[in-house]
Structure formats: C-alpha cells, structure tokens
Amino acid sequence: MKRHKIAIIGSGNIGTDLMIKVKRLSETLEVAGLIGIDPKSDGIARAQRLGIAVCCSGLGDYLASEASEGVALVFDATSAGAHAQHDSILADRGIRRVDLTPAAIGPFIVPSVNLDSNLSAPNVNMVTCGGQATIPIVAAISAVAPVRYAEIIAAIASKSAGPGTRANIDEFTETTSRAIELVGGAEHGKAIIILNPANPPITMRDTVLCLCERANHDEIRASVLEMVAQVADYVPGYRLKHEVQIEEVGDNAPLVLADYDMRFTGLKVSVFLEVEGAAHYLPSYAGNLDIMTSAALRTAERILSKGAVG
C-alpha cells in the first residue's frame, strides 16, 4: 500500500504523540520530518532515535532540505499565531495543512460530523480538544431536533495542559463556541474549559448541555449512542459516563444561560463524557491531547486516501 509522506511542525506533547501514532497506527502515512525549535526536546530526541529527519531552524529550512521532497501534508501542532505564518509558506508550496491550533484559518473539522464534505480544503482546522469531544454530541442531537442553545464544559488535568494550551485559552473558548454553531448546528454555542489541579490527575471529562425543540426521547438517545460509537472508532477511549439525561422544560420558562437571557419551551438534554488517552506517548489521563491527535490522524488519512487536490 502506498504511504503518503507527511511532516509535523511542533516537537511538544501533541506533535510527539502524533508522530508516534502515525508510526504505530497508520498504514497509509509516513513521517518524513519533525520540525521544532528546541533541539534538546524529548520529541526531537525520539524522532532521531526513530530515524526521522529533524529540523530545529524553522519550516523554511526544512522545506529546503531533501527530507521534504514528496511531502504531501503537514500537521501544525504549534500555536495559533505561528500557524498563520506556516500556512502561507505551505500554501506557496501546494502542501496540504492539518491545523491542530485554534487559528481557524481553514474550515473546522470533526471527523465523525463533517470530514467528507471538506476533503478538498487545502487547510483544515481541528477545532480544540473540547470541540472534538463535544461537537459530535451537539450534532447528534441537532440531527433529531433543532438545538437552540448548546453549552459545553471541558475539564482536563492541569498536568495535561502545556504552555501552548495555556497561551491559547481565549482562542479555545472562542473557536469552540463558533464550531458548536457552525459544525454542531446549535443556534447559540458556549464553551468553558477547566484546568483541574487534582492529584492524581483526572481523566478528561466533558459535559454537554443542549436546549432543543421537543422530539422523541428515544430517537435522541439513539442518535447520541450512534455518534459515540463513531467517535470511538478513531478514539477508543471515548465513552459515555452516564445515560443520556432528558428533561422537559416549559412552558416558556425564563432561562438565564451564559450570555443568553431567553425564554424556552422544549427539552434539556445533558450528556456526560469521558475521554481516556491511548497512552502512546502521553499518560492515559491526557485524553484531551489524545483526541486531538487521533482526530487529526483520521483526517489526514482520509484526505490523502481520497487524492483530493487542494
């Protein structure tokens, strides 16, 4: 089977985990380079031990090297600010981009929801860890009943939030909120992230609250369960923590939620999730990082297997 050459920008936790996932799991991708800024980082050291070309002097120098010949796609696991520069450089070379930062230059992608309709996009954005975990649930409920309001809370271990995550908290909430609406289908979206300092570290937990029009309760539950199974196909540690909770709200009850003061009649649907990491590189509690790299891997494999031209 033909293997497509890819490169990864970012030798931190996400970039290193992604590199190892491609090496261990992918039958169609080959890592042709890891680009970082710290020659002493663990990611660079691991890449060298694996015989993967490394570059610590910038994307431009990597693209000028023989190691970059034939690279069809680059994952960017750096920061929202850096991605804008990387996107311009890679676009000039006609290289596809899978963006794991909150830069949101390309369309938001959640593989179980909208990947097939964006296979030709030259740059795709993987939203955020909270978005990858919760937007499929919002979309599943939206498929049964119109969602007026969706609020998600992503709780992750402080130890799994590196400097990149902490520097992009504002982008996390803004990007996730927009994607809840654009991809999940909610009329209004709100995202909250909690960094939990508990020791031992907690496994990623996500809460999804949707206010939707009245519909058959069993159909809503079935749609959510089907979506959970689809996500678990590429994120094995993704699962429900409790049964889907559905409550009747009305008649025309006043609700004050986040920035929205509204009167509402319908259903309140609550879904509680857990995301356990595969521990390929990071601890199993770091499901927030694992779901990003797993979703990015699935996205790149589908994009390159379809032979779409960006």
pLDDT for residue 170: 83
Cβ pair 123, 106 in contact under 8 A: yes
- Note the pLDDT tens digit of each residue in 214-259: 999 999 999 999 999 999 999 999 999 999 999 998 776 666 555 5
Q: Is 166 annotated as a binding residue?
A: yes
210 is catalytic: no
Q: Is 60 annotated as a binding residue?
A: no
Cα separation values, 116 from 6, 236, 248, 262, Å: 20, 21, 35, 35
**68-81 residue pLDDT tens:** 999 999 999 998 88
Residue 295's CB is within 10 A of a number of other CB atoms, namely 26
Is 175 annotated to bind ligand?
A: no
**What is the distance between the alpha carbons of residues 227 and 271, in angstroms, rounded to a whole number?**
12
Topology classification of domain 129-284 = Dihydrodipicolinate Reductase; domain 2 (3.30.360)
Map out the domains of the chain as residue ranges.
4-126+290-305, 129-284
pLDDT at 257: 59
Residue 123 marked as a ligand binder? no
**Residues 31/13, Cβ–Cβ less than 8 Å:** no
Tens digits of residue pLDDT in 26-54: 999 999 999 999 999 999 999 999 999 99
Q: How far apart are the C-alpha atoms of 203 and 291, rounded to whole Å?
A: 12
In the set 55, 129, 210, 212, the catalytic residue is: 129
Q: Which of the four CATH numbers 3.40.50.2300, 3.30.450.20, 3.40.50.720, 3.40.1180.10 does domain 4-126+290-305 have?
A: 3.40.50.720
Which residues 6+ apart lie within 8 Å of 95 measured at CB?
71, 72, 73, 74
Q: Is the pLDDT of residue 310 over 50?
A: no
Give all strands of the β-sheet with 123-125 in edge-to-edge order: 54-55, 29-35, 4-9, 71-76, 96-99, 123-125
Which of the two residues, 284 and 167, has the higher pLDDT score?
284
Mean pLDDT of the chain: 93
Q: 3-class DSSP state for residue 72?
A: strand
In the beta sheet, which residues pair with residue 149? 188, 211
pLDDT, mean of residues 170-199:
94
Residue 298 annotated as binding site: no
Alpha-carbon Rg for the chain, nearest whole angstrom, is 20
Residue 125 vs residues 111, 183, 245, 272, 276: alpha-carbon distances, Å: 11, 12, 31, 25, 22
